[in-house]
Chain A
Amino acid sequence: MSQTAAVAPIWIFYTGTLFVITVQSAIAGVIRMGITHVVWIPDSVMGAWESELAKQPLQLIRICREGEAWPLAAGLYAGGARPLIMMQTTGLFESGDALRNVAYDLKVPVYAWIGVRNWLNPESPDSARKFAVPIVNAWQLDHVWIYADEDFATMHHHYLQCQASEKLGVALIAEGAG
């Protein structure tokens, strides 16, 4: 059994539909984007991808708080690299001012995958779920959703659009309890 197969996929039932995000599709998505650096503080979904990410021809940059991620990615972009940020919505909330500065002052088209904790649990009382979409909308973030493996194709198209228009973009990963 390969190392890749050893990482359990995320199986979620939501409104009667089965959603699956596998590590293979996530890693393939990263590679297809041509990412050189992943800047991250993972949640429990993305955290399961760590060993596979570490095997890829990119640098995994472990930050201490999410506010570092946006300017760090901006610096990578300025130096000609292709960064991808990974964090949870709680980190998005925490890093609001840094995001504002990078998106609207520096105007740097960095791209982020943001795990939305409990999105697939409609009855969840989690306040992180409640405020996820309002915060994304408040910052006027151009975004798409990833519910399952087949959505990585949509994400890739969105990434290319954001790069072409030099606009910061995010892909929201629909998660269960994170």
Chain B
Amino acid sequence: MNHPNLLNDADDRSPGAISCELALQLLAEQRNDRQIFVSNQMTARIWPTISRHPLDLNYLSSTMGGAIPLGLGLALARPDYEVIVLSGDGSLLMNLGCLATVVASRATNITIVVMDNGLYEVTGGQQTAGREANVNYALIAQATGFRYFESFDNIEQWRAFALSRWAVSGPRLISLRVHRVAVTTERFTATKVDVELRRLRKFLSKSRDDS
């Protein structure tokens, strides 16, 4: 089902922000075969249009705030892979304590990319408390003990990071100030999440057997 508010407001571009699709495109271009990507909510609708990879898990339907814990579980179970979680700011706000869980777990192979548009986008674009409070997610990550934390609101800065800084040890949190996205039904992932999860599990199991 289309969301008329989103479609009508699709061209609304806040200044000093990054195109969500371009930001994700840069990630997809830089990925390697030792990286698991967990997309969620809005990114789970965009990521399958950019990437088709056996190490993708488009976590939709999800529980809001669940993507980071799920990614952490993957990271702890498979320290031989890097896990990149694509989270919305609304989802992170709903489960902010998970950042402490990540640090406490001592996982170093997890990166959280917060797509901060200040909105609950999938419900029609209502503003989050985080935008109203002008929350800086990178500084929260710093205070929590993340080894790498950075905010970007400029595509060139993000491009430079994506090209040069990916090897910095984790856990990492990267906050991207992004535009809202026009949602269309075509962007919804067609694969059921339980099928995707089992496919990922099988792939990871096979990779362990082969190594």
A residues apposed to B, CB below 8 Å:
36-37, 59, 61-65, 67-81, 83, 97-98, 100-102, 105-108
Chain B contact patch, size range: 20 to 34
Task: Pick the residue among B63, B71, B72 that contacts A100 (CB under 8 A).
Answer: B63
Nearest CB of B to A38, in Å: 12
Specify which chain B residues have a CB less than 8 angstroms from the CB of A79 in the assembled complex: 73-78, 201, 204
Digit string of B57-101 for contact with A (CB within 8 Å is 1, else 0)?
A: 100011111110111111111100000000000000001011011
Interface of B is mostly: helix
**Which interface residue of B69, B71, B95, B105 has the most chain A CB atoms within 10 A?**
B69
Q: What is the CA–CA distance of A13 and B205 in the complex, to the nearest angstrom?
A: 47
Which of B44-52, B130-138, B155-163, B192-200 contacts its partner?
A: B192-200
B208 adjacent to chain A (CB < 8 Å): yes
Nearest-neighbor residue (CB-CB) of B205 within chain A: A80
Specify which chain A residues have a CB less than 8 angstroms from the CB of B65 in the assembled complex: 67-68, 98
Nearest CB of B to A41, in Å: 10
Nearest-neighbor residue (CB-CB) of B201 within chain A: A78
Contact B194 A105 (CB under 8 A): yes
B143 adjacent to chain A (CB < 8 Å): no
Q: What is the CA–CA distance of A97 and B63 in the complex, to the nearest angstrom?
A: 6
14 other contacts beyond A61-B76, A71-B62, A79-B78, with CB at 8 A cut-off?
Answer: A37-B77, A63-B69, A73-B73, A74-B73, A74-B197, A75-B72, A76-B73, A76-B76, A78-B57, A78-B200, A81-B76, A98-B66, A101-B63, A108-B197
Q: What is the CA–CA distance of A68 and B99 in the complex, to the nearest angstrom?
A: 11
B177-198 interface with A by 8 A CB criterion: 193-194, 197
Q: What is the CA–CA distance of A81 and B201 in the complex, to the nearest angstrom?
A: 10
Contact A72 B201 (CB under 8 A): no
The 11 sampled A-B contact pairs (Cβ below 8 Å) are A61-B76, A64-B97, A70-B63, A72-B70, A75-B69, A75-B76, A76-B77, A78-B204, A79-B73, A101-B63, A102-B63
Specify which chain A residues have a CB less than 8 angstroms from the CB of B167 in the assembled complex: none
Specify which chain B residues have a CB less than 8 angstroms from the CB of A36 in the assembled complex: 77
Task: Pick the residue among B64, B98, B197 that contacts A106 (CB under 8 A).
Answer: B197
Nearest CB of B to A148, in Å: 32
Nearest CB of B to A56, in Å: 16
Specify which chain A residues have a CB less than 8 angstroms from the CB of B67 in the assembled complex: 71
